[in-house]
Amino acid sequence: MKARTCWEGVCTVADLVPESGVAVWTAAGPVAVFYLPHRLPALFAISHTDPFSGANVLARGITGDLKGEPVVASPLYKQHFSLVTGQCLEDETVSVKTYPVLLDGETIRLEVPISQSESAVA
């Protein structure tokens, strides 16, 4: 059975910083939303938690491009994570969760799992 999801509004366009990330809190936990206006698509969302340190820091990482792949470098240990797949480029056994993201008017929405308590009400 597929997990139930919803499109959760997490921030607005005004909250975004070009070529950078912002940290948001969702029902699924902390997520880093990146705005890369020179790319299509321009919005990406991955887990905010660095899997190597366990710290919530990936939104503060430096964005870039490695061989055409949009990436963020962790500010702690400098591993690069694909903003498309979540895969760590230095260690193929490690990845972070990615989230579908869309622009709904001025609201940025992420597709996140519905928690057990919310689905019991629905």
Q: What would the pLDDT profile of 35-93 be if each residue is shown by its tens digit? A: 999 999 999 999 999 999 999 999 999 999 998 999 999 999 999 999 999 999 999 99
Q: Which of 42, 62, 58, 47 is nearest to 103 (CA)?
A: 42
Q: What is the mean pLDDT of the chain?
A: 92
Residue that the structure tokens 């230095």 belong to: 90
Q: Which of 55, 115, 54, 29 is nearest to 45 (CA)?
A: 29
**Quick one: pLDDT band at residue 115, thresholds 50, 70, 90?**
low
